[in-house]
A and B are shown apart, each in its own frame.
Chain A
């Protein structure tokens, strides 16, 4: 797996065991994605005991969005084209100025992918992960909104 992906996973506290699982999913997507995979993102939320729970694992390439739902325990993979196919972007945020995340920051994104039918994508982030989701939004989501 790419060095910057490992750095990202370390920065949001993903354990080595879970990173091994992520590496196998990455290899799977590497085989099926026609493009080079350029970014990674893991959705998360904070539980009442302040611990972090991970939900979806996502990869991005220039033309595709890939996700592994409930990746900790399930093998449920999807790949969808994104090039100029996204619409109805909805952003919800809490204690986040879209510049620098704090411990209280939360970010929620929802959009549709037009592949004949509208496929819905939901991503969420907490704490420092909000900054990564912001970067993903600006790099892959906003430029691919349908005109």
Chain B
């Protein structure tokens, strides 16, 4: 029996042997071509145009309610395409590392080139950065409302991970026309990830991004739990995430107390 792949090179070999799929420049070229088309269509969508138009209005509404700005000055959301390397890594995690049924297919089936644009939910993502903790839920509610207005299917989560990661994640579904490898096109449903986080969390996310990417490339090592391994990078970075979240909660409390005093 074939051994379980433990890194990306073994995963590529597994794809070739088990599914007759070879990951080459051609795979990446098609990925680049399809994702560029998805981004282009999304940028032109009524939902995205309206979202950008509404941002100042949301900011003013929050300001009137709380006395503080919602967004960082001159904030404009940008759309990011997941790099092919990260995308392939994610399929590795879903097919192998996080697949509790391995060697059988994960729930929903194997994630392979004929379905992977629909199955990976953050090929295209955007990030809204708010100044205060309560701005996360405020912004999340606004995005949900806009999704409903545009008749879009969506799912929303307030993420609070053991690893000290805090943000709102909203996944909206879009119908997209993408180029086939040879000619013409096909219609598929894709998910776009909308993240909402605070300015402080964003600072730490930017610092830790490279570290998380490296960690995700390999299967999890069994051994001392990170919570006890005080010399590890994980210990410092993950607890920094939790501490920041706590500090942001404290800032909110101070802000609310000040408001009560004024009343």
Measured CB to CB, the residues of A under 8 A from B are 45-48, 53, 55, 69-70, 72-74, 92, 94, 106-108, 110, 118-120, 122, 124, 126
Contact = CB atoms under 8 A, between A and B. Distances in A.
B182 interface: yes
Interface string B179-219: 11111110100000000000000000000000000000000
Interface string B148-191: 00000000000000000000000000000101111111010000
B232 to A, nearest CB: 37
Nearest to A76: B32
Contacts of B37: 53
Given A46-B184, A48-B185, 8 more contacts: A45-B180, A45-B185, A55-B33, A55-B179, A69-B29, A74-B36, A106-B183, A122-B29
Contact of A106 (B25, B26, B184, B187): B184
A47 B177 contact: yes
A53 B25 CA distance: 22
Given A55-B33, A70-B32, A74-B36, A45 B183 contact: yes
A74 B181 CA distance: 20
B66 interface: no
Nearest to B40: A73
A122 B34 CA distance: 14
Residue among B32, B36, B37, B182 facing the most chain A CB atoms (10 A cut-off):
B182
B30 to A, nearest CB: 8
B258 interface: no
B68 to A, nearest CB: 36
A126 B26 CA distance: 20
Interface band, chain B? 10 to 19
Interface of B: 24-26, 29, 32-33, 36-37, 39-40, 177, 179-185, 187
Nearest first, the 7 closest Cβ-Cβ pairs linking A and B are A106-B183, A120-B25, A70-B36, A108-B182, A120-B26, A45-B179, A92-B182
Contact of A120 (B24, B33, B179, B187): B24
Given A70-B36, A73-B40, A74-B36, A120 B29 contact: yes
A45 B180 CA distance: 9
A49 B243 CA distance: 53
A46 B177 CA distance: 11
B129 to A, nearest CB: 24
15 contacts: A46-B185, A47-B177, A48-B177, A48-B187, A53-B179, A55-B33, A69-B32, A72-B40, A73-B36, A94-B183, A106-B182, A107-B183, A118-B25, A122-B26, A124-B183
Nearest to B37: A53
Contacts of B33: 55, 70
A126 B183 contact: yes
A45 B25 contact: no
A72 B39 CA distance: 12
Contacts of B182: 92, 106, 108, 124
A122 B29 CA distance: 8
B184 A45 contact: yes
A53 B29 CA distance: 16
B32 to A, nearest CB: 6
A108 B39 CA distance: 24
Contacts of A120: 24-26, 29
A122 to B, nearest CB: 6
Contacts of B181: 108
Nearest to A124: B183
A126 B184 CA distance: 9
A24 B39 CA distance: 23
A121 B182 CA distance: 13
A126 B183 CA distance: 8
A78 B102 CA distance: 40
